[in-house]
Chains A and B, each alone.
Chain A
Amino acid sequence: MFGFLDRSLRFAAVAALSLGTGGTAAAAGDVEAGGKVFRACAACHAMEPGKHRLGPSLAGVIGRAAGTAEAFRYSKAMEESGVVWTEDALALYLTKPSAFIKGNRMAFPGLRKPDDIADVIAWIKANGGGAAAPPAAAGAAPVPTVAPARAAVAASAPAGGGRYGLGRPAKPEEIALWDIDVRPDGLGLPPGHGTATEGEALWGERCAACHGDFGEAFGRYPALIGGEGTLAREFPEKTIGSYWPYASTVFDYVHRAMPYGDAQSLTADETYALTAFLLASNNLIDQDFVLDAKSLPQLKMPNADGFYIHDTPDFPPYEPCMKDCKKSVEITGRARIIDVTPEGEDNAVSVE
């Protein structure tokens, strides 16, 4: 997806972040004056985490990668810019948003006075926009936002603190970007909420093409509903409703891997809504049950107790028979009769 240049830019920017962002030129602004400048931004940006207006919440924006506030729909340009919001990067962006990231959607012409820029950055920093964690490698020299690739290599040299001193500390905001797993006890569930009613339209738009209107699935795509009470039958149907032990797995997997081919594109609210839709389609919750980080871990799935660990061998050691072990042998089944082997010039030779 990224061109080569974009890629090196992205990682150079991450490396720059790793050295901490304290003490750059742009930071020497006046907080109070910045508050006034911010009024121009406030129509579109709030400082509370998770609160999005026309633009994304700017909580914790300094130090994090562009286009990564949870549950905000960015332009592709912003998402793929590879930029990390160091104060220098912000200053460049706010000077002329359309030039710094071509094709981004912020309808704002830019701030003309360098002082205004320094001030508004100082204000954002003082009002919840600063990085959540202290800079890791304190005292490191500031590096330009867009470091050449060579600098990125050198930048990763600082010791991670282990025996070999390799690697660099993983920053909390970097971990937050990748750490998307959700556990049955709810650990990892993001803020947000959704109901089956809200999920229905989204399901039709983004899931039904493969999984069917209700989750019954087309062709060999997995069916996601039905199968209650079939697990001990001759042909069991394993679905979310009949088999899955935890609702958290639905949230985790849908967000991580679906829709197939456009993974991790769903917002937290959308994922809650689709999870609710799937649970409701399996008659496990009502259409308007609000699924969120509190309610989801409390749901008990029908097959929650259907799993166990079996870690002893099924067959204890014995000395097997070597001679005349049975009287006769009968052929009880033949693959040839079923005949599902793929054709090929030289495989599946069928012989009489």
Chain B
Amino acid sequence: MAKGLGASDQMLGRVVRVTDAAAPAGPSRRQLIAGGGVLAAAAVALGAGPARPQDIGIADHTRHLGTSVDEYPYGVPSPHEAQVIRRSVPWLTATRESSINFTPLHELEGIVTPSGVCFERHHAGAPDIGPAEHRLMIHGLVERPLVLTMAELRRFPPVTRFYFLECAANSGMEWRGAQLNGVQFTHGMIHCVQYAGVPLRTLLEECGVKPAGKWLLAEGADAAAMTRSLPIEKALDDCLVAYTMNGERLRREQGYPLRLVVPGWEGNVWVKWLRRLEIGDQPWYQREETSKYTDLMPDGRARQFSWLMEPKSVIVNPSPQAPLTARGANVLRGFAWTGNGLVKRVDVSLDGGINWTPARLEGPLLPKCLTQFYHDFVWNGEPMLLQSRVIDETGYVQPTYQQLIDIRGVNSVYHNHAIQTWLVNEAGGAENVRVS
């Protein structure tokens, strides 16, 4: 391998220079990256085969007719993008219905996660609920307990908002050390979409919350009847009862026809298939806020009601599923987010945290939303240790693993927001590592 690499070094450098100048002689960098995987990289790196004689020509698709309209009444991604899918870790859970899969972050760009690849987490499978039969009931400490149909919900004044949703267990497998080789698996329990729906506040005002009403219980209509308690302040602040994501009705696996949106807070409280809201004077201490979603600390006690998703960032490109394919000019891509509001700055390091440079934040910059960052750099073929760290509008700096573990130990499962490190080797491949 070392020998091959040596021989390929120049080759690699040459191809990149040529294509970067937009010269017509080689595969474009775009093609190289789209070709993805090691194969394309290796082929170029090892100089396999003669340089392609012709990639500029008159292709068949330029001469003959393409597909008609309505071939796909509901469009699908290009067949060349078939690798852009959610993936799961089968050994993680006992059954496929109470399970999880992961968003392919390394394939995405910008703040919108396409609906079809938003990660899934169900506790008893995703039910199929007809909107005509769905009802939202609001009761408890209210003046007017109500039953609302979907049609009625759509008659309240709606708002549209972008928000990220991150599972509290995102990166939960990484506490004890680097485990999974792929940003999809280490960080893919997150998505960011645009919602349309009714402010929860509007609905609560319609019912008239009594002064004693301090807590809200949200419940799903699935076979887990998922429930969580939320403080009334949050319910009256920025929560939504949403029926739309990314311009169309919610996907079934995201709670069709109705879900709760709880901006900046852990995904488990964003109850899907929302059927009931109860107002009470104290929390209910449901299974998901006692047995689960509590954070065990080194002293054996556990933090409870730790809803906030703390500032976090990760480089998605390069990463183990997205190796570097060429020397020379390159772009480092990543996402940052914070439940506190706005991302203020993201720093990146190519040397494992010795030196840092502010990355370029690309808009839109919205509160409680994914923020795209870029760092343009030249790769000379040397190994790198890539890291990113976010600083949010409150001044909170994303911690290193050492900082976080010093306080929280390794058994909290939830709320791991430490700095991630990728080792990029001479061949451009990336690996999940832990550094000092």
A contact set with B: CB distance below 8 Å: 7-8, 10-11, 18, 153, 156, 160-164, 166-170, 174-175, 178-185, 210, 219-222, 231-232, 236, 238, 240, 243-246, 248-249, 252-253, 256-257, 260-261, 263-264, 306-311, 313-318, 320-326, 328-336, 338, 340-342, 344-352
Across the interface, which residues of A come within 8 angstroms of B431, CB to CB?
A: 334-336, 350-351
Chain A residue nearest in CB terms to B137:
A170
Contact A341 B180, beta carbon cutoff 8 Å: yes
A168-B286 in contact given A257-B124, A306-B300, A342-B87 (Cβ < 8 Å): no
- Interface hits, B137-155 → A, CB 8 Å: 137-139, 143-149, 151-153, 155
Question: Is A333's CB under 8 angstroms from B434's CB?
Answer: yes
- Chain A residues within an 8 Å CB radius of B435: 329-332
B416 sits at the interface (CB 8 A): no
Whether B332 sits at the interface, judged by CB under 8 Å, is: no
Q: Is B397 engaged at the interface, CB distance under 8 Å to the other chain?
A: yes
In the docked arrangement, what's the CA distance between A316 and B391, Å?
11
A257 and B278 contact, CB distance less than 8 A: no
**B36 part of interface (Cβ distance < 8 Å):** yes
Give which listed residue, B147, B305, B347, B391, contacts A167 with CB less than 8 A.
B147
- Supposing A11-B133, A178-B276 touch, asked if A169 and B399 sit within 8 A by C-beta, the answer is no
Interface residues of B (CB under 8 A from A): 1, 36-38, 83, 87-95, 97-98, 123-124, 130, 132-133, 137-139, 143-149, 151-153, 155-156, 177-182, 184-185, 202, 205-208, 217, 219, 223-225, 227, 275-276, 278, 280, 282, 284-287, 290-291, 294, 296, 298-306, 308, 310, 320-321, 323, 347, 351-357, 385, 389, 391, 394-397, 399, 403-404, 407-408, 411, 423, 425, 427, 429-436
With known contacts A313-B394, A335-B431, A219–B94 Cβ distance under 8 A: yes
Expressed in whole angstroms, the Cα–Cα distance for A79 and B77 within the complex equals 44
Q: Is the CB of A231 within 8 A of B296?
A: yes
The 6 A-B residue pairs with the shortest CB-CB distance, nearest first, are A317-B395, A351-B429, A232-B300, A162-B206, A329-B352, A333-B434
| B286 contacts A181, C-beta separation under 8 Å | yes
Interface centre among B219, B225, B408, B423 (most CB of A within 10 A): B225
Q: Smallest distance from the beta carbon of A347 to chain B beta carbons, Å?
A: 5
Hey, which chain A residues are within 8 Å of B123, CB to CB?
257
Give the residues in chain B near A348, CB-CB below 8 Å: 180-182, 320-321
Contact status A232-B298, CB under 8 Å: yes
- What are the residues of chain B within 8 A of A253 when measuring CB–CB? 286-287, 291
Measured CB to CB, the closest approach of chain B to A177, in angstroms, equals 9
Closest beta carbon of chain B to A161's beta carbon, Å: 5
Contact at B291–A249, with CB atoms within 8 Å? yes
Are A220 and B93 within 8 A (Cβ)? Answer: yes
Q: When the two chains form their complex, are residues A315 and B397 in contact, meaning their CB atoms are under 8 A apart?
A: yes
In the complex, are the beta carbons of A181 and B148 less than 8 A apart? no
Given the interface pairs A332-B435, A338-B178, A349-B320, the reply to whether A178 lies near B285 with Cβ below 8 Å is no
A243 to B289, CA, bound (A): 12
Q: Which of chain A's residues has its CB closest to B392's CB?
A: A317
With contacts A170-B138, A245-B285, A315-B399 known, is A320 near B356, CB below 8 A? yes
Query: Is the beta-carbon distance between B145 and A175 smaller than 8 angstroms?
Result: yes
Pick the residue among A169, A263, A329 that contacts B351 (CB under 8 A). A329
Which of A178, A222, A311, A313 lies at the interface centre, i.e. has the most chain B CB atoms within 10 A of its CB?
A178
Q: Report the bound CA distance from A324 to B177 in whole Å.
A: 25
Residues A260 and B300 in contact in the complex (CB < 8 Å), given A168-B147, A245-B285? no
* Complex contacts, A231 vs chain B, CB 8 Å: 296, 300-302
Residues of B within 8 A of A352 (CB): 1, 425, 427, 429
Extra contacts besides A311-B305, A350-B429 (8): CB < 8 Å? A164-B206, A253-B286, A253-B287, A306-B301, A315-B403, A334-B432, A345-B83, A349-B320
